[in-house]
Structure 1
Amino acid sequence: MEINDQNLEALATYLRKTLSPNGDERAEAEKTLKQIERNENYSSLLLTLCERSTTPDEIRRASVITFKNFIKRNWPSLDASSSTTNPISIRDRNHIKEHIIDLMTRSPEHIQQQLSDAITVIGQCDFPDQWTTLLDTMVRQFQQPKSFDVIFY
């Protein structure tokens, strides 16, 4: 999936439908999200939605919660001996690790909390061997005056 406005709008529509009081509509949206999560850039699209200040708050919240749950389900399962393909490509994993700390420090508290949970999962799996830049990135980000509050959310 390419990261473009059309795909972002489609993803936002599915996320909005997951909040519907109509059980059939909600179930259909959840099924669709489950099908498209195997596409490359799915996680990046979710992060882009939660990053954009023009995205409605309920969609930002749904996006970051969906992202966190996607990470919890799929990040730890990368195993070279596994016969199944992990839905998070190496390219997507690297993109997430390059951007998630910065995004967390620039986001509202309710977004920070979810991203922090995702960072914990990624860190437990990849740090230090596969996420060698984690500490340097965190130190650099937390030296910014506005970032200090993130530590104590």
Structure 2
Amino acid sequence: MEVTDENLATLANYLQQTLNPDTNIRRPAEKFLESVEVNQNYAILLLHLIDKETVDLTIREEDGADRIHASDRATIKTLIVSLMLKSPEAIQRQFSDAVSIIGKCDFPEKWPSLIPEMVEKFATGDFHVINGVLRTAHSLFKRYRYEFKSQKLWEEIKHVLENFAKPLTDLFVATIDLTTKHADNPQALRVIYGSLVLICKVFYSLNYQDLPEFFEDNMPIWMPNLLNLLQVKVPCLETDISSKNENGSPPKYLFYSSFQYLLL
């Protein structure tokens, strides 16, 4: 399957048909997709389709194939982070899950560039990009909370700590500072506190198996700030309806998250 406009249009059409309630239309489309999902370039076509803003968002959000042709993996790994970070949030979350799925098999031995590529995005100052990286890190590292201890797991965590712990700490400090700078801006605070929640989730995952030496040495940075976040009140967020959703406000998330990390 070549990556052409014609093939992209065909794929988009079949994906659209899988959403049709008429089984006479839906089932043939599903069978077609099943027949081509193991073909070379199928996954690449899906990535290009997701990246096209002209494609219906309902199609772009549909789950992709679980099986990827071996020769496509390297290409996907070179594209997926940059595509993810310029996508809408709904698409971004699916890309994060995809990175996590690939990472379970390939990271870090077969994907050594992943962490450096993620870390360099922290310098952009763009919190849409930064939060995309943090969601990916959370998706990738959260399995450290439940996997059994093993030499392979320790080696992976060591690799992550050596390359990610300091940038995460620096980002934490910079983001804490922004809460003061934007204290009267509910829209900015919503994003900033959302970032702090994600940072705390990643921090928890990296400390779950054991307390790493780096974080032990940097407790004077982390602990006072986490304690402050337990006590923080943000009136402009608490009264801003736009900062809330079905699960509550960002400060509420942060309260429970921070409490969990302080109990390490």
Shorter-chain TM-score: which interval?
0.7 to 0.9
Contact 1:102–1:141 under 8 Å retained in 2? no
Could you list the structure 1 runs, at least 4 aligned residues long, displaced by more than 4 angstroms after superposition: none
Q: Does 1:112 align with 2:99?
A: no
The match for 1:100 is 80
Contact 1:101–1:141 under 8 Å retained in 2? no
Equivalent AA in structure 1 for residue 33 of structure 2 = L
Distance in 1, matches of 2:28 and 2:7, equals: 18
Residue 145 of structure 1: CA displacement? 2.5
The match for 1:6 is 6
The correspondence for 2:115, drawn from 135, 138, 143, is: 135
Equivalent AA in structure 2 for residue 102 of structure 1 = S
Residue 56 of structure 1: CA displacement? 1.5
The match for 1:20 is 20
Equivalent AA in structure 1 for residue 25 of structure 2 = E
Q: Does 1:149 align with 2:131?
A: yes
Q: Max radius of gyration: which structure?
A: 2
Distance in 2, matches of 1:116 and 1:95, equals: 17
Could you say if the C-alpha distance between residues 133 and 14 of structure 1 is closer, same or farther in structure 2, counting changes exceeding 3 Å?
Answer: same
Contact 1:40–1:88 under 8 Å retained in 2? yes
Distance in 1, matches of 2:51 and 2:93, equals: 14
In the alignment, structure 2 segments of 5+ residues that lack a partner are: 135-194, 199-264
Distance in 1, matches of 2:31 and 2:106, equals: 29
SS at match of 1:100: helix
The match for 2:141 is none
Distance in 2, matches of 1:142 and 1:43, equals: 28
Contact 1:105–1:141 under 8 Å retained in 2? no
In the alignment, structure 1 segments of 5+ residues that lack a partner are: 75-86
Compare 103-112 and 134-143 and name the one that shifted more. 134-143
Distance in 2, matches of 1:39 and 1:88, equals: 6
With normalisation by structure 1, the TM-score equals: 0.81
Distance in 1, matches of 2:61 and 2:116, equals: 28
1 or 2 for the larger relative contact order (CA 8 Å, sep ≥6)?
A: 1
Residue 50 of structure 1: CA displacement? 0.6
Residue 55 of structure 1: CA displacement? 1.1
Distance in 2, matches of 1:116 and 1:13, equals: 25
